[in-house]
Structure 1
Amino acid sequence: MPKISVVAKDGTVFEIQAEPGTSVMENAVRNSVPGIEAECGGACACATCHVYVDEAWQEKVGLPGPIEADMLDFAYDVRPASRLSCQIKVADGLDGLVVLVPERQS
């Protein structure tokens, strides 16, 4: 099972064993990572699961699709590394993925 690291806004690192096919958001919520609100439950209808993908993983994770990019317009402090964690699907190739929770969610 791939391991992902979610760095909370206070710097606490949550090391999570994630089932392939689930989303980073689902795993963060399941592991009570603070700052991942996920108000829409993963429907890409809010921006409360906004994360920054670590630079070393950005190419592998890829860019947001058009709907996700539109939703990111509602997030605070959007950066080139911004993604909605509900749209990042866990796969074996993402073993070691690191994402950071921003200071504030929308």
Structure 2
Amino acid sequence: MPTVHYTDAEGAVREVKATAGDSVMETAVRNGVPGIVAECGGSLSCATCHVFVAEQDLADLAPMEDMEDEMLYGTAVDRQMNSRLSCQLPLREDQTLHVQTPETQV
């Protein structure tokens, strides 16, 4: 079972057990994790599920596709090298991922 550690902008951490195949965004919304708005519901047409992925976890993710890269230029908080849209991060069985939410999504 995948696990996601969500850290908010103030440093509070929430560990959530996820379902393999679900995205980091779907897991956050389903579990009421604050900091991920997900206005478009995961259709890759907004940037309100922006997260910063922990450096040690970046290599474990699928490469970013062009559309996600483009959408990250529309985030409320400037993108960083470890920025991803959580709707584009499907979770694998036994995966552990650490993400931080920006101080705002809108």
Q: What is residue 5 of structure 1 aligned with on the other side? A: 5
Q: Distance in 2 between matches of 1:85 and 1:20?
A: 14
Gaps spanning 5+ residues in structure 2: where? none
Contact 1:8-1:33 within 8 A present in 2 as well: no
User: Percent identity at matched positions?
Assistant: 45
Deviations for 1:42-89, whole angstroms, at most 9, x for unmatched residues? 001000000000000011114321010111010121001000000000
The answer to whether 1:91 aligns with 2:98 is no
CA-atom RMSD, angstroms? Answer: 1.2
Contact 1:53-1:98 within 8 A present in 2 as well: yes
Runs (4 or more) in structure 1 with deviation over 3 Å come to none
Question: Residue 96 of structure 1: CA displacement?
Answer: 1.9
SS at 1:97's partner residue? Answer: strand
Scaled by the length of structure 2, what TM-score is found?
A: 0.93
State how 1:4-43 maps to structure 2 within 5 Å.
Answer: 4-43=4-43
Q: What is residue 104 of structure 2 aligned with on the other side? A: 104
Gaps spanning 5+ residues in structure 1: where? none
State the AA in 2 paired with 1:50: H
State the AA in 1 paired with 2:29: V
